[in-house]
A and B are shown apart, each in its own frame.
Chain A
Amino acid sequence: MATPITDMQPNVAINTDDRALFRLMQLSSASLPVGGYSFSQGLEYAIDCGWLKKQAEVHEWLEMQILHAVAYVDLPALKLLMAAAKQADWQEVKRLNDLVLACRETKELRLTDTAMGEALVRLLNSLGVEQPFAHGRGSAPEAVSFISLFAIAAAHWDINYPSAALGFAWSWLENQVAAATKLVPLGQTQAQVLIGDLQPILSQALNIAEQVDEEQVGAGLPALAIASALHEQQYSRLFRS
C-alpha cells in the first residue's frame, strides 16, 4: 500500500509502504537509543554567553544551521550514502563517511556525530542489519558518522531517500529544539510553536539538498564553530562536548 506522508513540495511526493514507514518512524524517533539529546552543537555556549536570549533568536540560529549544515552536509551526504549502501558498496560508504566527518568543524561537532554513530552501530548489529564498520572485542572502533549508519539502516529497510531525509531532518530538529527548551528555557508549548515554525525551513533544506553534489558538500558557520569550540572549555554544562 502506498502511503503519501506529505505533499509539501511539488516535485517530491513521498511514497513508502507500511513496513518501511514504521521502520522510518523507529529510526527517527527520539527514543532511538543513540543519545542525540546529550549534545547541543554550540547552542549551549551561545545561550549561556547571551548571544541568544529569545525564542526568535533561537529560531534564527537553528534556521541558519538547517539551511547551511543540514542542507549542504547532512542531507546530501545521506543521499550519497544511501545510494552506496543500496549497492552494498562498503568501500564507497567508508569514503563518504570520511567526507561527512571531514566537514565537522570542531571536536564537539565531530563527537556529536561519532558518538551517535557508534551507538547506532551497536544497535544495528543487534537488529541484524549488515554494516561494514568494525566494532566490539578485538577491533579498534572506527570513527563512524551517524549519517552513514542512518543511511545503511534506511537502505536496508527499503526506505526511499526522500522519506529517509524527512525522518533524519525531523529527528535533528527535535533534538535541537529539546536542547533549546532546556537552555533558554522555553515552555513546552513554545517548543511546539518553534518546531512548527521551523518545519517549512526543513522543507527548504530538503529542496536545496536535492541539488547538492559531492563536490558541493560542505558548509561553514564560523560563529557557531567558535561557540562549539568554546563550549569544550565551558565551566559547567548540561550537554556533552
Chain B
Amino acid sequence: MNNWVTPARGEGADKPSDPLGLPEKTEQSKWKAELSLGLAHTKRGSVLNACRHQGPLYVQKAFYPEGRDLAHLYLLHPPGGMVSGDDLRINVTMAQAARALITTPGAGRVYKARADKTLQTQHIQLRLEPNSSVEWLPLENIIYPGAHTRLHTDIHLDVGSTFIGWEISCFGLHASQQPFDQGQIEQRLQVFSQGRLKIREALSLNPEQHNFMQSRAGLAGHSVNGLLIAGPLSKTHDTDTLLSALQAQCEALNQTDSQSQKALSAVSINDEFIQLRYLGDCSEQARLLFIRCWTLLRPALIQREACEPRIWAT
C-alpha cells in the first residue's frame, strides 16, 4: 500500500525530539500518542504553524499539489494500529481562512484486546475557525475480532467554515472469514456549529449481546460501514443538482450485479448537512464511491476541483 517504513511496535518506533518528552509506556505497553496541528492562512498560503507530537504519531511536512492556499497533510502512525490501553489523540486547529486536506497513508488497525479488555481509544478533534475548511479523508479502520475500542470524532465549525469528511470501518477481517464475533466497538462522530450540536452519529457493536450485525435494520450481514458527511450547505448552493448527482453515484453502486460486490448506499440532505452512507463488504469499494462523491462535493462546497493527494496513487 505504501512506502512508509513501519518500525516494529515498541522498538523505538518514535523518538520525539520536542520538549514534551518520551511517550508514556508502562510495563503493560500502554501508548499514549498525541498530535496537535495548527494551520494558519498567511501570505505564504495555508501553513502548518504548530505541530506538536507525543508518541508515534506525526506529520512530516505539508504538501501543496494545488497551490499554497490549501495544504495536503499525511498523518503518520508508524505502529499502524492500536492494542489494549493505547490512546490516540489528534487535534487539528484551522485558523481563520486556512484550508487543509488530511489523509493517512495506511489503514488504521485496532487489534484484538488483551484478556483484561482495556479499551483502545482514539479521539479526533477538528476545530475550524471562520471561513476555514478541512477535508478529512483517511483510509479505513480495520477492527479486529476481539477488539474493545472507542473511536470518537468531534468537528467544531464556525461561521463560513466547511467540512467534508468520511469514516470507513471494517468490522472483522472479511477476506479471511474472521467476522467481528466478539469484542466491543463504540463509534461516535459529532458535528457542532458555533457550539450547537448538529450531528451525532453513533454506532455500537457488541456481538455477544445482540445480533446487530446480521439484523436487517442494523448491518444486514455486511462488514464494512461507511459514512460521508459534508456541509454546511447554504441557500446559495444548488442542492437539487448536487443531490441528484450524488444519488446517481449511489444508484450505480446499488445496481452492481456481482454477488461479491453487493452493497447498499444512499444519500440524504439532513438540514444543512449531506449524509452519505455505504454498507457492503469492501473498503475499497466504499472509498472509491466516496472519492467520486467528494469530486462532486468539492467544487460546490469549497470551490475547487478535486485534486487527489499523491499518496493515494502509490
Contacts and interface: CB of A to CB of B under 8 A. Distances in A.
A95 B201 CA distance: 17
Contacts of A60: 215-217
A222 B218 contact: yes
Contacts of A163: none
B200 A229 contact: no
Interface in B198-255: 198-204, 210, 212, 215-220, 222, 225, 247
Contacts of B191: 102
A92 to B, nearest CB: 13
Given A64-B215, A223-B279, A232 B268 contact: yes
Given A46-B216, A64-B212, A223-B264, A102 B269 contact: no
Interface in A76-120: 95, 98-99, 101-108, 110
Contacts of B202: 72, 103, 217-220
9 contacts: A46-B217, A64-B215, A67-B210, A105-B270, A106-B275, A108-B268, A221-B217, A228-B268, A229-B267
B265 interface: yes
Contacts of B203: 220, 222
B197 interface: yes
A217 B190 CA distance: 12
Given A60-B216, A223-B219, A223-B264, A107 B269 contact: yes
Q: Chain A interface secondary structure, helix, strand, loop or mixed?
A: helix
Which 9 A-B residue pairings sit nearest by Cβ, starting from the closest?
Answer: A218-B202, A229-B266, A106-B268, A229-B268, A223-B220, A220-B203, A224-B217, A64-B217, A102-B200
A229 B215 contact: no
Given A218-B202, A220-B203, A51 B267 contact: no
B279 A226 contact: yes
A101 B272 CA distance: 12
A143 interface: yes
A30 interface: no
B41 interface: no
A107 B198 CA distance: 13
A52 interface: yes
B190 A225 contact: no
Contacts of A46: 216-217
Interface string A38-75: 00001000100001100001001100110110001000
Nearest to A220: B203
A230 interface: yes
A103 B215 CA distance: 20
B270 A110 contact: yes
Contacts of A108: 268
A233 interface: yes
A72 B210 CA distance: 14
A110 B271 CA distance: 8
Contacts of A51: 216, 220
Given A105-B268, A107-B268, A222-B225, 18 more contacts: A46-B216, A68-B218, A72-B204, A98-B196, A102-B197, A102-B198, A103-B200, A106-B270, A217-B202, A222-B218, A222-B220, A223-B216, A223-B217, A223-B219, A223-B220, A225-B275, A226-B279, A227-B266
B266 A230 contact: yes
A105 B277 CA distance: 10
B200 A99 contact: yes
Interface string B156-193: 00000000000000000000000000000000101100
B204 A225 contact: no
A203 B271 CA distance: 33
Nearest to A103: B200
